[in-house]
């Protein structure tokens, strides 16, 4: 088990904002079109807000119209874990940070070429490391 995954709820409550804690550790969802990265255009790398693992490149970000930052490919498939989410009366594929177990969002098979995937991610689960900074 990763050292990150062994950290308890108290650690995460201190490290994260209440909103981040709800999304990242309790599998919540931010309201559509409200996230800091929904309309973000700067080039860079999106990392896990909890542990800093590199997750997505701005080069694969696109406007899906869903209201959440969307990507058609992960930087490294080994950095994203998947689980079945049967909540809210539907079955979806949840995506989590493979390093720390943070809830990121969901992946759907309705994205653009070349992958056909839409990684639909909560802004609160991410931090952008801009290229120019």
Active site residues: 120
- Rounded-to-integer distance, Cα 43 and Cα 50, Å: 21
Question: Cis ω on the peptide bond leading into residue 98 (within 30° of 0)?
Answer: no
Q: Which of 52, 3, 49, 61 is nearest to 24 (CA)?
A: 49
Give the length of the chain: 133
H or E element, residue 83: strand 80-85
Hunting for tokens 């979806």 — which residue is that?
92
Please give the Cα distance from 24 to 72 (Å, whole number). 21
């Amino acid at each position: 088990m990763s050292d990150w995954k062994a950290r308890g709820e108290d650690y995460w409550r201190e490290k994260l904002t209440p909103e981040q804690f709800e999304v990242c550790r309790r599998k919540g969802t931010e309201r559509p079109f409200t996230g800091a990265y929904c309309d973000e255009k700067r080039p860079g790398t999106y990392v896990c807000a909890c542990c800093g693992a590199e997750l997505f490149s701005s080069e694969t970000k696109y406007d899906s119209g869903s209201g959440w930052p969307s990507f058609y490919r992960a930087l490294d498939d080994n950095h994203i874990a998947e689980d079945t989410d049967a909540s809210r009366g539907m079955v979806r594929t949840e995506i989590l940070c493979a390093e720390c177990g943070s809830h990121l969002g969901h992946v759907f098979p309705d994205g653009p070429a070349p992958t056909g995937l839409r990684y639909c991610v909560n802004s609160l689960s991410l931090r952008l490391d801009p290229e120019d900074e």
